[in-house]
Structure 1
Amino acid sequence: MKAVRWHGKSDVRVEDAPDPKIEDPGDVVIQITSTAICGSDLHLYNGFMPGMKAGDIIGHEPMGVVVEVGRDVRRLAKGDRVVVPFTISCGHCWFCEQTMFSLCDNSNPNAEQARKQMGHSPAGLFGFSHLLGGFPGGQAEYLRVPSADVGPIKVPEGLSDEQVLFLSDIFPTGYMAAENAEIAPGDTVAVWGCGPVGQFAIQSAWMFDAGRVIAIDRIPERLRMAETNGRAETINTDEVDVYEKLMEMTNGRGPDRCIDAVGAEAHASSSVWSAMDTMREAIHLESDKPYVLQEAIRCCRKGGTISVPGVYVGSVQLPFGAAMNKALTFRMGQTHVQRYLDPLMKKIEEGKIDPSFVITHRVPLMDAAKAYETFRDKEDECIKVVLKP
Structure 2
Amino acid sequence: MRATQWMGKNHVEVNEVPDPQLLNDRDAIVKVSSTAICGSDLHLYDGFIPTMKKGDILGHEFMGEVVELGRGVSNLRVGDRVVVPFPIACGACNACARGLFSVCENSNPNAGMAQKLWGHSPCGIFGYSHLVGGYPGGQAEYARVPFADVGPLKVEDDLTDEQVLFLSDIFPTGYMGAEMCDISPGDVVAVWGAGPVGLFAVASARMLGAERVIAIDRFGYRLDKAREAGATDVLDYEEVDVLDALDELTAGRGPDGCIDAAGLEATHPTTAVDAYDRAKTAVMAETERPHALREAIMACRNGGTVSIIGVYGGLMDKFPVGSLMNRSLTVRTGQAHVQRYLKPLYEKIRDGEIDPTFLISHTLPLDRAPEGYRMFRDKEDDCTKVVLKP
TM range (shorter): over 0.9
Matched AA of 1:131 = L
> What percent identity do the matched residue pairs reach?
58
Aligned to 1:348: 349
Tell me if structure 1 keeps the 8 A contact 2:200–2:229. Answer: no
Find out whether 1:255 has 2:242 as its counterpart.
Answer: no
Counterpart CA distance in 2 for 1:270 and 1:251 is 27
Q: CA deviation at 1:238?
A: 1.3
Counterpart CA distance in 2 for 1:343 and 1:61 is 18
Q: CA deviation at 1:280?
A: 3.3
Q: Residue 40 of structure 1 aligns to a residue in which SS? A: helix
More deviation, 312-321/48-57: 312-321
Find out whether 1:332 has 2:333 as its counterpart.
Answer: yes
Counterpart CA distance in 2 for 1:279 and 1:14 is 33
Find out whether 1:55 has 2:55 as its counterpart.
Answer: yes
Aligned to 2:156: 156
Tell me if structure 2 keeps the 8 A contact 1:269–1:291. Answer: no
Matched AA of 2:330 = T
Matched AA of 1:348 = I
Q: CA deviation at 1:275?
A: 4.6
Tell me if structure 2 keeps the 8 A contact 1:273–1:294. Answer: no
Distance 1:242 1:345, change over 3 A: same
* TM-score when normalising by structure 1: 0.98
Once superposed, what is the RMSD of the aligned Cα atoms? 1.1
Aligned to 2:171: 171
Matched AA of 1:362 = T
Counterpart CA distance in 2 for 1:71 and 1:278 is 50
* TM-score when normalising by structure 2: 0.98
Q: Residue 214 of structure 2 aligns to a residue in which SS? A: strand
Aligned to 1:267: 267
Distance 1:283 1:148, change over 3 A: closer
Equivalent runs, 1:179-190 vs 2, <5 Å:
179-190=179-190
Matched AA of 1:338 = Q
Q: CA deviation at 1:374?
A: 0.5
Matched AA of 2:29 = V
Aligned to 2:324: 323
More deviation, 223-232/25-34: 223-232
Aligned to 1:370: 371
Counterpart CA distance in 2 for 1:143 and 1:254 is 45
Distance 1:279 1:69, change over 3 A: closer
Aligned to 1:232: 232
State the Cα deviation string for residues 119-160 of structure 1 (Å, max 9, x = none). Answer: 111000000000000000000000000000100000013000
Matched AA of 1:132 = V
Counterpart CA distance in 1 for 2:255 and 2:23 is 49
State the Cα deviation string for residues 237-281 of structure 1 (Å, max 9, x = none). Answer: 111111111111111111110000000000125445435434533
- How many residue pairs get aligned? The number is 389
Counterpart CA distance in 2 for 1:233 and 1:375 is 25
Tell me if structure 2 keeps the 8 A contact 1:7–1:53. Answer: yes
Q: CA deviation at 1:25?
A: 0.5
Aligned to 1:84: 84
Q: Residue 171 of structure 1 aligns to a residue in which SS? A: helix
Matched AA of 2:201 = A
Matched AA of 2:210 = A
Counterpart CA distance in 2 for 1:71 and 1:351 is 37
Q: CA deviation at 1:234?
A: 0.3
Counterpart CA distance in 1 for 2:368 and 2:176 is 32
State the Cα deviation string for residues 278-308 of structure 1 (Å, max 9, x = none). Answer: 4533553211100000111111111110000
State the Cα deviation string for residues 286-344 of structure 1 (Å, max 9, x = none). Answer: 11100000111111111110000000011012111111111111000101000000100
State the Cα deviation string for residues 145-190 of structure 1 (Å, max 9, x = none). Answer: 0000100000013000000000000000000000112212210000
Matched AA of 2:55 = G
